[in-house]
């Protein structure tokens, strides 16, 4: 039932600002924090906090940020024995969060850009998770090894890249937001659930695949073998949307690895993402299983 995550590990420099800066504008931050981040690390933390054994495959640099990230992952219950220590800097993200909870992010890839493709896949793992912040060839190799080992694969195609297009068929579960859906389809995302479901079907790369479109505060739409699943999100006070998508993916992976149905795992993941946006930071905002279960019951 273990989850294996292959992806980026960043240290996030998070600055609160009254509003997101426009081009050429200087904005004074009201606070800053150094927090764990990176889509791979975030999703691993989200899965581990559901009480599911989780292993991280990634790379950090030989700097203080790398040490801090390994410590943060370990404290969250993520296995870090396979994380590589490479010469040079750890990935770094500059994150600006407005008073309205919206964010702007600039990433320095660091060690993530040099992450090598894995040579094998951990035996007995139920679910493999990857994203697009590390080399596409390495992601493709990881998902191929996972499928050969009999694991279910989840690919969060974020950020959307031309190289990521070739990876789509390797995913049993493909997760995109509306921007990423539009990129891969080469067209604007249509309005209305029926049209959106049709767009998700057009993105399917093979039979039996799930395509899940996250819709922010509007919830999620999933198209797959069981038909269309449309779940709204609950209205909650938004503090910071950073990491909400990663919370969704990690919790979804954890619950699927335990054998839950897609419909129930999606419902749990939507609630978890709703909890995360009420807190500051990415990995720092991710809820425990007890908090998610309480949210489901509420």
Question: Per the annotation, does 79 bind a ligand?
Answer: no
Question: Per the annotation, does 164 bind a ligand?
Answer: no
Question: Per the annotation, does 61 bind a ligand?
Answer: no
Question: Per the annotation, does 101 bind a ligand?
Answer: no
Question: Per the annotation, does 66 bind a ligand?
Answer: no
Question: Per the annotation, does 274 bind a ligand?
Answer: no
Question: Per the annotation, does 214 bind a ligand?
Answer: yes
Question: Per the annotation, does 279 bind a ligand?
Answer: yes
Active site residue 120: no
Torsion of CA 82, 286, 155, 100, to 10 degrees: -130
Choosing from 99, 188, 226, 246, which is the catalytic residue? 246
Question: Per the annotation, does 193 bind a ligand?
Answer: no
**Binding site for substrate, residues?**
10-12, 38-42, 133, 246
Q: Residues annotated as binding site for K(+)?
A: 240, 242, 276, 279, 281, 285
List the catalytic residues. 246
Q: Which residues are annotated as a binding site for ATP?
A: 177, 214-219, 245-246
Binding site members: 10-12, 38-42, 133, 177, 214-219, 240, 242, 245-246, 276, 279, 281, 285
């Amino acid at each position: 039932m273990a989850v294996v995550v292959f992806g980026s590990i960043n240290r996030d420099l998070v600055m609160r600002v009254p509003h997101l800066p426009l081009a050429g504008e200087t904005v004074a931050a009201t606070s800053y924090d150094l927090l764990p981040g990176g889509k791979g690390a975030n999703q691993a933390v989200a899965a581990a906090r559901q009480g599911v054994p989780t292993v991280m495959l990634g790379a950090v640099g030989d700097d203080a940020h790398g040490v801090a990230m390994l410590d943060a992952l370990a404290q969250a219950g993520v296995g870090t024995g396979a994380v590589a220590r490479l010469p040079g800097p750890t990935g770094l993200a500059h994150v600006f969060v407005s008073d309205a909870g919206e964010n702007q992010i600039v990433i320095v890839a660091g060690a993530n850009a040099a992450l090598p493709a894995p040579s094998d896949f951990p035996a007995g793992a139920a679910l493999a998770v990857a994203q697009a912040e590390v080399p596409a060839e390495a992601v493709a190799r990881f998902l191929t090894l996972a499928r050969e080992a009999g694991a279910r694969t989840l690919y969060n195609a974020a950020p959307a890249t031309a190289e990521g297009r070739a990876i789509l068929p390797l995913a049993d579960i493909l997760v995109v937001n509306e921007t990423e859906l539009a990129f891969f389809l080469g067209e604007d995302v249509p309005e209305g659930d029926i049209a959106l479901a049709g767009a998700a079907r057009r993105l399917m790369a093979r039979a039996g695949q799930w395509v899940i479109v996250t819709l922010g505060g509007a919830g999620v739409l999933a198209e797959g073998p069981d038909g269309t699943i449309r779940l709204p999100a609950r209205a909650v006070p938004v503090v910071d949307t950073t990491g909400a998508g990663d919370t969704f993916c990690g919790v979804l992976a954890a619950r699927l690895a335990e054998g839950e149905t897609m419909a129930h795992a999606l419902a749990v993941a939507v609630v978890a993402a709703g909890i995360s946006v009420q807190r500051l930071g990415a990995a720092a905002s991710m809820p425990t299983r007890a908090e998610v279960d309480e949210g489901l019951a509420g």
